[in-house]
Amino acid sequence: MLTMRAQVCFYCPAPCTGEVGVTMHFGILCCNNHEADAIRDIRAHLHRTNKVRLGQAPEFLPEFCTFLPPTFSVRRSSGIIEAGWSLSPNNYIHPQFITKVGGEWYLPACTDGMSRLVPIRSFMEPELHLPGLTQAIMDRTIAILEAGVYVEAVNQQQEMAVAPETPIPAGSGIVPMIIDGVACRVVM
């Protein structure tokens, strides 16, 4: 949580020189020496919560993004197909994520002040199909999301597991704890 926090690095007592955020008030404060650690830990958090930053979709899902036009049609909850939807604007105050909910991956979409999550697989429905998007591309897209675009960050965290005897210094509002045999720091 970035609000109401001392401006010190999460990993050491050095003054904070930056932040790596998930949303406007949720992220990790860090010093220059620990920026890579903060990026790793935020990506691991996104992996564990089944989220992918919408702004990074072209990097991780280039095939799918190639076929996603600026506006597209969606099936409303009433069953009516409505044109003129687009990806929700992605910004610092309101970051957008590709999200897995109930076993299905969704894109955030909006139109005329309304927003909703659109199942990625819905673009294979005949009425909503995106020209050029094949079942093979859709399958690869879902496979990439299922494998986890940030899984490497989780792997790096697991490689760093330290013995319970290893001390981790406490800082202002940060308490050292051992969770599942791993020494870590928890913001209180």
pLDDT tens, residue by residue, 120-146: 999 999 989 888 999 999 999 999 999
Is 1 part of any domain? no
Q: How many domains does the chain contain in total?
A: 2
Is 119 part of any domain? yes
**Cβ 119 vs Cβ 97: under 8 Å:** no
Is 9 part of any domain? no
Instruction: Categorize the per-residue pLDDT at 85 as very low, low, confident or very high, splitting at 50, 70 and 90.
Output: very high
Residue 172, pLDDT > 60, answer no
- Residue 90 is part of which domain span? 52-147
Question: pTM (2 decimals)?
Answer: 0.79
- Residue 142 tokens read as 């879902």
Is 10 part of any domain? no
| 94 and 65 in a common domain | yes
Instruction: Categorize the per-residue pLDDT at 13 as very low, low, confident or very high, splitting at 50, 70 and 90.
Output: confident
Residue 1, pLDDT > 50, answer no
d(CA 99, CA 119): 9
